[in-house]
Amino acid sequence: MSIIVQKFGGTSVGTIEKIQHVAQKVKKEVDQGNQLVVVVSAMGKSTDQLVDMANQLTPNPAAREMDMLLTTGEQVTISLLAMALHQLGLDATSMTGWQAGIQTESVHGSARVQDIEIGKVQNKLSKGSVVVVAGFQGVSQDGQITTLGRGGSDTTAVALAAALKAERCDIFTDVTGVYTADPRVVPKASKLEQISYDEMLELANLGAGVLHPRAVECAKNNDVYLTVRSTFSEEEGTLVKEEVTVEDGIIVHGVAHDEEMTKVTVRGMKKEIGALSRVFKTLASKQINVDIIINQSMYDTDITNIAFSIDSEDLEATLHVLEDNKESLGYEDIIYEENLAKVSIVGAGMISNPGVAADMFDSLSREEIEIKMVSTSEIKVSCVVPAANMVKAVQVLHNTFNLDKVEETEKVNA
């Protein structure tokens, strides 16, 4: 008898009818002789509705109270799904994150899972019960309810699968797998049969919303057999695994995009050891995440400019913390450029195929798309471009690397 962990997102449980459909999928797995742990998100847009209600009361709700509020969304779903399973003749037990033993650090809004006391879940499984767990939440050592951040239900599912040594973890969503690009932006995007943990982690960090980065990281660290598949189709999904064979012609596996980027430049700093450290330690102290960094030293002077990209929603906080620390940082002024986006290509094949970045830059320049900033790693290249050109850039790159033919190539090589 194998333990299977299934996770269903908000679109999969958005209505009573959809919850009943999920219950049928769970029953099918149980009927095959498996033990099931089912992780669910809040129904549909209910989390957004809860956030909206809080914002109607105050523009700056306390983080602890927001966690108390938002965790109620998943609690509704787990109880309703357990009831639906009862109606199908299955024994089912709903558990909140803390009841399931999910222990996190003492951070509200974006806590990380530190440990899972799996005893209660194992006990219910051993008695033949389907365990329905609320995703996205846990409890800190001092007994405070915490949340894992948007997309945290993926992390809940993978962490449970790792702790339970589950045979596999299935992430059910409204798409049939991981695609070479967002199908809403590139209608001819291909579904991938498999993708490596490293490639998926890059895509997730670069804006692909199909999996949460922490979930991929957890799966990689614990060698969790992870699949992404559709709630509403029996079609095979995408397997995320340690290594994927790089076939001839498949150098790039995907194009990702991230909207609403802002470039910030701190100008007129003294060119000295420690300048970069002071700036980014100051930003990190306020939990401001910085992406691409460029150190623009002036030739033959002792002055340097430091440019970096951030999420646009962090601009106000970034300007505020830099202004508050202007004297200690020792800069002249700050300029920023909004209405930018990041487009990225990802593929393990880049390691052994020189010239990929050049092809990317050439294809963008031929379409007169200005590149504002560049960042690279062994398996990805990212460019910051004007937001108005983002969709065009994604489509151009998808064509440049023949990603609409990846699915055909995989089938030929299978």
The whole-angstrom separation of Cα 98 and Cα 108 is 14
CA pair distance 210, 162, nearest whole angstrom: 20
The DSSP line for 238-295 is EEEES-----TT----EEEEEEEEEEEEEEEEE--TTHHHHHHHHHHTTT-----EEE
User: pTM (2 decimals)?
Assistant: 0.88
Give the pLDDT score at 278.
94
Split at pLDDT 50, 70, 90, the class of 412 is: very low
User: Sign of the CA dihedral 40, 41, 45, 47?
Assistant: positive
Cα distance between residue 209 and residue 367, in whole Å: 27
pLDDT at 351: 83
DSSP-derived secondary structure for 191-251: BPSEEEHHHHHHHHHTT-TTS-HHHHHHHHHHT--EEEEETT--S--EEEES-----TT--
DSSP string, 54-86: HHHH-SS--HHHHHHHHHHHHHHHHHHHHHHHH
* pLDDT surpasses 70 at 408: no
Distance between CA atoms of 411 and 414, rounded to whole angstroms? 5
CB 90 within 8 A of CB 27: yes
Rounded CA-CA distance 31/23 in Å is 12
218-251, pLDDT tens digit by residue? 999 999 999 999 999 999 999 999 876 655 457 8
Average pLDDT for the chain = 93
- The pLDDT assigned to 249 comes to 58
Q: What does the block give as tokens for 164?
A: 């339970």
Per-residue pLDDT at 347 exceeds 60: yes
Mean per-residue pLDDT, 246-267: 86
Q: What CA–CA distance (Å, rounded) separates 101 from 273?
A: 46
CA distance 406 to 252: 9
What pLDDT was estimated at residue 383? 96
Rounded to an integer, the average pLDDT of 33-62 is 96
Q: What is the pLDDT of residues 112-151, one digit of tens each?
A: 999 999 999 999 999 999 999 999 999 999 999 999 987 8
For domain 3-174, the CATH superfamily is: Acetylglutamate kinase-like (3.40.1160.10)
Name the packing angle between helices 213-222 and 152-164 (round to 10°).
10
> In terms of Cα–Cα distance, which of 74, 173, 78 is closest to 121?
78
**How many percent of the chain have pLDDT more than 70?**
96
Residues paired with 95 in a beta bridge: 133
Q: Give CA–CA dist 412/151, Å, rounded.
A: 34
Contact 347, 253 (CB under 8 A): yes
Q: Residue 261: pLDDT above 60?
A: yes
Does 56 score more than 70 pLDDT? Answer: yes
Answer whether residue 280 shows pLDDT above 60: yes
Q: How confident is the model at residue 1 (pLDDT cuts 50, 70, 90)?
A: confident
